[in-house]
Amino acid sequence: MLSLLSLRKQIDAGSLTPREAIALSEAAIAEREQDIRALVSRDLDPVVPERGPLAGIAVGVKDILDTAHLPTQMGSPIYDGWRPRADAAAVARLKRLGAVPLAKTTTTAFAFLDPTQTRNPRHPGHTPGGSSAGSAAAVSAGMLPLALGTQTGGSVIRPAAYCGVVGMKPSFGLLPTVGMKCFSWTLDTLGLFTAGVADAAHALALMTGRPSLDLPTTEPGTPRIGVVLQDFCATAEPEALDALERVRTATEAAGARLRDLVLPAVFAEAFGLHGTIQDFEAAQALDWEYTSHRADLGPLLGAHLDAAQGVSPKSYDASLKVADRARQQLADLFAEHDLDVILTLSAPGPAPEGYASTGDSRFNRLWTLMGVPCVTVPVGSTPAGLPLGVQIIARLGDDARALTAARFVETLMGERHC
């Protein structure tokens, strides 16, 4: 995989020019894209800035984010060839930092569940996940050092785990969603895919103008970790549980303090109401597409929006109140148990075989609803070579702590698998 920080180190040292760094991505795309199918469109003659903290960094932009120089097609024939006049705010920021938005990456239609044609680079017979399929796959395949994705349920964390890369879903609102096709304004969150945790931290620090989000240069100490299995969900597959146990063993051996947590009942209630909030908002956010182009929606999305018409404002309002109570209790839970982060599963298991499904987001939806920062860390593979990941979660607004703990886990598990 291409590392953002490694490329920048070479550029700063003078051993690589920004144009040469972009050429590395272009060469990898030429070699692998035909098999992976992660890209929708590409800038064939990019302008490459010579200066800027992200000069020489090629970026993949999920195709529900506006780009003025490339079509934004939402994964749907409804927007075939559509060209916005302006970049999404996050894309504009990356350009100002010197990065090159080199390609648009595949998305399920309107970031829902109808699968794309993208293949999992680590195991082509299995899904790369979704909805940010192309972004996860492009980074995993070494075609791009940085890619943007979005998460409404589990669309950053899950595909990152399936493809064996780092996925970062920041705190809700930390990255702007201006210029992104809305599915649910309460849940939609912009996220990042990178080769390593340090890459994600550096990119997020630059994109937000918050240097404190970058990883510390001094030893941060060992984290205090609460382990959560979400006992109100269906049990995870043995491979995922084994990976979580390996992380527990490694972190405890390194001096971290771990304790098992059973989430109070309000979290199970909130988990069950994620869909009510999402669907009520999706029915409004996609009202034009639904009323004007129902036949052109994907089969899963079309049927889902049919059902979503029946979600009442009363149910929606009640669900928001439950979510607010859960958010308040989550902050109390961190304080009561003196925790830095929560450790849990990124997905129920490795990437499912075939392409009919993008996988199950049951270990992501609650945390998206809570708005908290989440990081997927790759922690090895199954005997068949399918990547596995675990998820690190911190308090709302404590993205730096989530990234620092994720780096702690990444370092330990990298040492155990090298």
Instruction: Give the catalytic positions in this structure.
Output: 62, 131, 155
- Whether 74 and 293 have beta carbons less than 8 Å apart is answered as no
- As a whole number of angstroms, the distance between CA 362 and CA 43 comes to 36
Q: How many CB atoms lie within 10 A of CB 186?
A: 18
- Torsion on CA atoms 51, 55, 56, 58, rounded to nearest 10: -150
**Region of 45 on the Ramachandran plot (φ > 0 left; ψ -120 to 50 alpha; else beta):** beta
Peptide bond into 131 cis (omega under 30): yes
Residue among 342, 394, 389, 403 at smallest CA distance from 373: 394
- In the block, tokens 């979005």 appear at 150
- Whether 115 and 354 have beta carbons less than 8 Å apart is answered as no
- Whether 166 and 27 have beta carbons less than 8 Å apart is answered as no
Report phi then psi at 324, rounded to 5. Answer: -65, -40
- Whether 26 and 142 have beta carbons less than 8 Å apart is answered as no
State the greatest distance between any 2 C-alpha atoms of the chain, in Å, as a whole number: 61
What are the DSSP calls for 173-189, one per residue?
TSS--TTB--S-TTT-E
Residue among 48, 227, 59, 56 at smallest CA distance from 144: 59
